[in-house]
Amino acid sequence: MAGHAHYREAHPLVFVITHWINLICMIMLAFSGFYIHYPFFGGFMGVARGMHFVAMYVIIINLTFRIIAAFFVKTATDLGSHQVDTDIKNWLPQEKNKHQFFETVKYYIFLRKEAVISAKYGSLQKIAYLATIPLTYLMAYTGFAIYGPTMTWGLFSGGVEMVGGPMNMRIIHYFMMWVFIVFTMIHAYLANIYNFKPSKIIFAWKESE
């Protein structure tokens, strides 16, 4: 799996760009989020909030665009392959991922030696990538629920009431930041554990054999 070639078909330029936007927004949101949570140096609150409020719209638009594009853009069907098909098919679990979930888990906890057959993404990877979608929208929801201009909208005030008040909503938003941080840690780790070929393609769009 990791020894295969990495061609541009795996991540066409649009997705390299959406990934960059994701990464930059996430860094901005997490940094400004940490600052809003507890201003650890002086003189930056206005900028931090401005940064948060811009990046939050960008990341939502970017994610929504990424999902829509999955129905139109073609990506490689398999690891190290030039053959392409509509991205959404490669994104959702496929025939090749069947019966592989527990085998993948076993592989990663060293209960089996050989790596497992997967499609473009392994079954765990697909679960993780799909989970980021509702997670990001939920993050946006909890964010708008503590955002002055929107928090009185019925859609959001109902949620605030459900969790027992705006303080609790802030704590949920804060905890969810950590979910993203842990996700990104695991994600960056797994993406680069074998070698940096996957990063070369997703960041620099450079192919490697």
Partner 1 sequence: MAQEAHGAIYDLLAVRGVSRRDFLKYCSYVAAMLGLSEAAAPAIAAAVEKGSKLKPALWLNGGSCTGCTESMAQVDSPDVATIVLELLSLNYFETVMAAAGEHAEKNIQDTIAAGGYLLIYEGSVMTGEDGNTLLVNGHKGTDILKEAAESADAIIAVGACAVDGGWVAAHPNPAGATGVQAFLDVEGVKTPVVNIPCCPMNPEWVVAMVVQWLLVAEDDPATFLAKTELLGKSYDDRLTGRNVTLLYPKYVVGSTIHDNCPRRGHFENGDFVTEFGSAEEAMGYCLYKVGCKGPQTFTQCPITRWNRSVSWCVQSGAPCIGCGAISWVDNNTPFFKRLSSMQMGDGLGYVQPGSVAAVVGGVAAAALVAHGLGMKAAGRIGPDGPPTETVKKHDRKRQAKGGDK
Residues near partner 1, by CB under 8 A: 1-4, 37-39, 41-46, 48-49, 98-100, 103, 108, 110, 112-117, 146, 148, 161, 164-168, 170-171, 174-175, 177-178, 181-182, 185-186, 189, 193-195
Whichever of 12 and 166 has its CB closer to partner 1, that residue is 166
Structure tokens at 16: 């390299």
Whichever of 162 and 206 has its CB closer to ligand HEM, that residue is 206
- Which partner from the list ligand HEM, partner 1, none does 103 bind, CB cut-off 5 to 8 Å by kind? partner 1
User: Rounded to the nearest whole angstrom, what is the least distance from the CB of residue 62 to ligand HEM in the complex?
Assistant: 10
Q: Which of residues 44-63 bind ligand HEM (CB under 6 A)?
A: 49, 52, 56, 59-60
Single out the residue of 64, 84, 51, 82 nearest to residue 18, CA to CA. 64
The CA radius of gyration of the chain, in Å to the nearest whole number, is 19
Q: Please count the CA atoms within 13 angstroms of the CA of 3 that sit on its side-chain side.
A: 4
Q: Which residues contact 69 (CB under 8 A, 6 or more apart)?
A: 14, 15, 18, 87
When binding is defined by CB under 6 A, the residue of 74, 84, 177, 205 that contacts ligand HEM is 177
The answer to whether the beta carbons of residues 107 and 32 sit under 8 Å apart is: no
The answer to whether the beta carbons of residues 199 and 20 sit under 8 Å apart is: no
Structure tokens at 15: 């997705």
How many residues bind ligand HEM, per CB under 6 A?
50
User: Rounded to the nearest whole angstrom, what is the least distance from the CB of residue 157 to ligand HEM in the complex?
Assistant: 14
Kindly write down the DSSP assignment for every residue of 137-166, as one continuous string.
Answer: HHHHHHHHTTSTTTTTSHHHHHHHHHHTSH
Three-class SS state of 6 = strand
Contact footprint for ligand HEM (CB under 6 A): 1, 10, 15, 18-19, 22-23, 26, 29-30, 33-34, 36-37, 49, 52, 56, 59-60, 66, 104-105, 108, 122, 124-125, 128-129, 132, 139-140, 143-144, 146-147, 170, 173-174, 177, 180, 183-184, 186-188, 190-191, 198-199, 202
